[in-house]
Amino acid sequence: MKIPSSITSAAQAGNDLLPLRIAGVPEHFNLPWMLALERRAFVRAGVELKWHTVPEGTGRMCTMLRNGELDLAILVTEGAVRDILRGGPYRIMGNYVDTPLTWGVHVGAASSIGAPVDLKEVPFAISRVNSGSHLAAVAYAQAHGWTPKDSDLVVVNDLAGAVERLQATDRMAFLWEKFTAKPLVDAGTLRRVDEHRSPWPAFVVVATEAVLAEHPREVERVLKVIRDQARGLMEKKTAPEMVAQRYRMGLEDAREWFGGVRWNTDGRMDTAVLEGVVKALLDAGMVSDVKDVDGAIERLFWTAHQP
């Protein structure tokens, strides 16, 4: 198994800090990582954590993990499950966020679409294939009686690309985390015509097989740091004000969002939840080569984390 050169070179040089590369989206969910970096908490754990912001989301991060550009990532749960079952060389280390993700279903402000019933067989903008916006769009459509064709899914790279496409197109929808997109709704750039709530935890932390083979203890220390940071944030009375300031959210929106999110602080993950994700992906035709759900679950976890 090939170990990334950035890791082996550091080890050979005898550096005290192990460099690890991690990526996540530029959203409020990842505030615990930002706080840990600012407080040099990873340095105290013996790790030089290098953060990469990826606006394109889970689909792009899956590609980066496959290409050896990352050691860890925070991925939308269903995206991580699907890509691992399709050969992604990384494993789930546990939940990052225990609560589900609420997707807003958006159209351009001037669109003729006025209600969920008008969305049937309307194309969806998606950030990338296997992104959360892709899988959520398919799940939303199927829950409302139709299945999008590949030609109905238009890659727009990120939120900015989706805004540009929706403003130029009368009939197109885009699913994005409700509060991230809300400033655009408030500004009259987009309209939210519906919501979709995934029935499983929003995000998981994954690590590549390469880094786990060589540095499992350091990965575990990273996870302990972030769980401690998340615990402290959830106990902080002024956390909504911090979220509002850092992520340009209205204070009431920040309070509503913060009141409904719970980060994972104990490392536990219910495999029954992942069984539900696998079954949903199978029912949607989003994965193949899965002979049984139990076997699929075993493929998702690092060996030391398998139940």
Residue ending a domain, among 197, 228, 263, is: 197
Is residue 91 domain-shared with residue 148, that is, in the same domain?
no
Is residue 63 domain-shared with residue 193, that is, in the same domain?
no
User: How many Cα atoms occupy the beta-carbon half-sphere of 266 within 13 Å?
Assistant: 5
* Residue range(s) defining the domain that contains residue 256: 5-100+201-305
Is residue 175 domain-shared with residue 297, that is, in the same domain?
no
Is residue 69 domain-shared with residue 155, that is, in the same domain?
no
Non-local (6+) Cβ contacts of 25 within 8 A are 53, 54, 55, 57, 74
Is residue 218 domain-shared with residue 96, that is, in the same domain?
yes
Is residue 207 domain-shared with residue 90, that is, in the same domain?
yes
Q: What is the reported pLDDT for 80?
A: 96
Tally of structural domains, the chain? 2
Is residue 232 domain-shared with residue 191, that is, in the same domain?
no
Is residue 250 domain-shared with residue 210, that is, in the same domain?
yes
Residue ending a domain, among 197, 226, 245, is: 197
Is residue 121 domain-shared with residue 75, that is, in the same domain?
no
Non-local (6+) Cβ contacts of 127 within 8 A are 55, 56, 57, 59, 60, 133, 134, 155, 156, 157, 158, 159, 161, 162
Kindly give the pairing relationship between strand 173-177 and strand 102-108.
Answer: antiparallel
Q: What is the reported pLDDT for 289?
A: 76
Is residue 213 domain-shared with residue 292, that is, in the same domain?
yes
Could you tell me the CATH number of the domain that includes residue 131? Answer: 3.40.190.10
Residue ending a domain, among 181, 197, 213, is: 197
Is residue 156 domain-shared with residue 220, that is, in the same domain?
no
For each successive 10 residues of the chain (307 residues), what is the average pLDDT? 44 69 97 98 97 95 98 97 95 96 97 95 93 93 91 95 96 96 96 95 97 96 98 97 94 96 93 89 83 85 62
Q: Which alpha helices (H) appear in 41-177, and where do they start and end?
A: 41-44, 58-66, 77-85, 132-143, 159-168
Is residue 90 domain-shared with residue 210, that is, in the same domain?
yes
